[in-house]
Amino acid sequence: MSRTVLVFYIFIFLFTGCDREEDPLVFTPIDLVKFSEDHKGFNLLGKYDVGWSNNGYKEEEFIIVNDLGFNFVRLPLDYRTYTQPGNWDIILEDEIAEIDRAVEYGERYGVHVCINLHRAPGYCVNPATNLPPSQNISLWTDASAQKAFVNHWDYFATRYKDIPWTRLSFNLINEPSDIDESTYVTVMKKAIDRIQSINPDRIIFVDGLNYSREILTSFTDRQNIIQAIHVYDPMTVTHYKAEWVNGADSWPLPVWPVTDINMYLYGPWQSNYHSSLILEGSFPKDMEVVMNVKQVSVKSTLDIKLDNSSVYTKNFVCGPDPGEDWTQIINTQWGYQNISGKDYSAVLPSSGTKLTFSNTAGDWISFNMITLRTPDDTIGIIPGNTGWGIKQSSYKITAEGRITDLDGNPVVPLGELVKKLKSAKSQNIPVMIQEFGVYNKTPHKVAVDYLTDVVKVFNDNNIGYAMWNMIGTFGIINSNRTDCSYESYRGKSLDRQITTIIQSSGK
């Protein structure tokens, strides 16, 4: 009898379940473009890393954000700071309470809080070396990592369900790299679906591919999604001598402005991007042409032509031996990608009107600088575009030594960023800059000039931003620069020049 009843109830459940449609989500109309435009602030690192940045959030941080005229903070989290060691399925309430306090401080001081999984289950842009085997897996390919990722967002969405969208938002992951768009979008939409099933009005920031550089159209079918991008290009300006960036100590001293020429010479292995850098102008006999090579992937051949004749060829082969070319050996998943930082030069045997720089064999070369030197003049060309996957082009060098495109327009810095933002606007894709900044080893004047131009681009395009960071080596407070005149502020050292730049509304 009981078995019959059980089967009957299972049948009823299955029948009604198949016939029942889920209630459609109801979204509150939110002007996402206006939301971005209205919010500016900083990243706070209170739970950024379980090992060295896990002290929680201080009320004073929110007081400072408000006092300086800002209204937004992003909280990049390491999941290990709030889960049981070795078990990312067990969330620790005592640790979550520190995030609760940040949300409360945000309400108290009129600061919007954005929670970000900087180190998510199965992925971080900064690889860890001490993960347990059960966590040393990939978010993109491992079902258990994806389950944990979605469950963590389920937890935050449920915990903060009643916090209005005006006070709290989510940023799903930080700086995805080396992953195809289809896989990335599939995983992100799992988290989006779970969050929106709990609170459809929660604003969700989704990072672009290529370390949050790119604009994606794949989320335009979802509501309340803002594209998050990070602006650190050119890296040779923003990350000069950054200890965690391979080869940064060999980069030339940054200057600003630079030319918007890409630093990569792609070889035949990169068939989609294989192209030559061409300079047109008047190049006299005995001019010295120098390329300072930054890095080479696996193997490449640098070829420099004057008009149609080769004047210099250099074969590079990367390996474990430093030899005469390498100052740093780097063995990656793609093979050896060694750092050079050395000059390779040729003296022109005759005059000419066109210099062509090509990678005729192999993978890719990046360069720090091209110098054109005569007894009377020196022209230095520093590539200001460090983005990946941009073909080289042709440029003119005027009699005054200026770099222009073939139509005579200046090759201005930040051109790729401007194109991306305008493209997003034309496709009705809301955007916010969730990271930007300059490391403290870059000369202060260069940092000031660079940030002035970058923030102007943000403001000209009505886009909000969050600087990395507020307190620390990229920030406006206690940044430990040796060439900055600091102002005493609340017992701390405030960089008033950079603060004033990012306070600017551009209006």
- Per-residue pLDDT of 79-126, as tens digits, reads 999 999 999 999 999 999 999 999 999 999 999 999 999 999 999 999
pLDDT(400) > 80:
yes
403 token code pair: 């770099």
Give the rounded percent of residues in the chain with a pLDDT score beyond 70: 95
Q: Which of 230, 211, 202, 207 is nearest to 219 (CA)?
A: 207
Region of residue 401 (phi > 0: left; psi between -120 and 50: alpha; otherwise: beta)? left
Q: Which of 178, 165, 152 is nearest to 205 (CA)?
A: 165
Region of residue 266 (phi > 0: left; psi between -120 and 50: alpha; otherwise: beta)? beta
81 token code pair: 């700071």
pLDDT for the residue 25:
85
Q: What angle do CA 13, 200, 156 make, to 5 degrees?
A: 90
pLDDT for the residue 5:
34
pLDDT(7) > 50:
no
Mean pLDDT in residue range 448-463: 95
C-alpha neighbours within 13 Å on the C-beta side of residue 467: 26
pLDDT(455) > 60:
yes
pLDDT for the residue 12:
32
pLDDT for the residue 26:
87
H/E stretch holding 259: strand 259-262
Mean pLDDT in residue range 244-255: 89
Q: For the chain, give me the number of helices (H) and strands (E)? A: 11, 24
261-312 residue pLDDT tens: 999 999 999 999 999 999 999 999 999 999 999 999 999 999 999 999 999 9
pLDDT(8) > 50:
no
**Could you say which DSSP state residue 20 is in?**
P
**Helix, strand or coil, per DSSP, at residue 365:** strand
Rg (CA), the chain: 26
User: What is the pLDDT confidence band of residue 22, given thresholds at 50, 70 and 90?
Assistant: low
Q: Which amino acid is at 504?
A: S
Record the pTM: 0.84
C-alpha neighbours within 13 Å on the C-beta side of residue 425: 14
Average per-residue pLDDT in the chain?
Answer: 93
For the chain, the 3-state helix, strand and coil shares in percent, each to the nearest 5, are 25, 30, 40
Q: What's the N-to-C CA distance of the chain in angstroms?
A: 78
b/e string for 11-31 if b means 16 or more Cβ within 10 A?
Answer: eeeeeeeeeeeeeeeeeeebe
**Helix, strand or coil, per DSSP, at residue 164:** coil
CA distances from 406 to 53, 90, 260, 308, 379 (A): 49, 60, 14, 19, 18
pLDDT for the residue 24:
80
User: What is the pLDDT confidence band of residue 332, given thresholds at 50, 70 and 90?
Assistant: very high
CB proximity list for 112: less than 8 A, separation 6 or greater: 39, 41, 71, 72, 73, 106, 166, 167, 168, 169
User: What is the pLDDT confidence band of residue 231, given thresholds at 50, 70 and 90?
Assistant: very high
pLDDT for the residue 4:
36
Which of 62-71, 252-261, 375-384, 396-405 holds the top average pLDDT? 62-71
State how far Cα 322 lies from the chain centre: 31
Give the rounded percent of residues in the chain with a pLDDT score beyond 90: 85
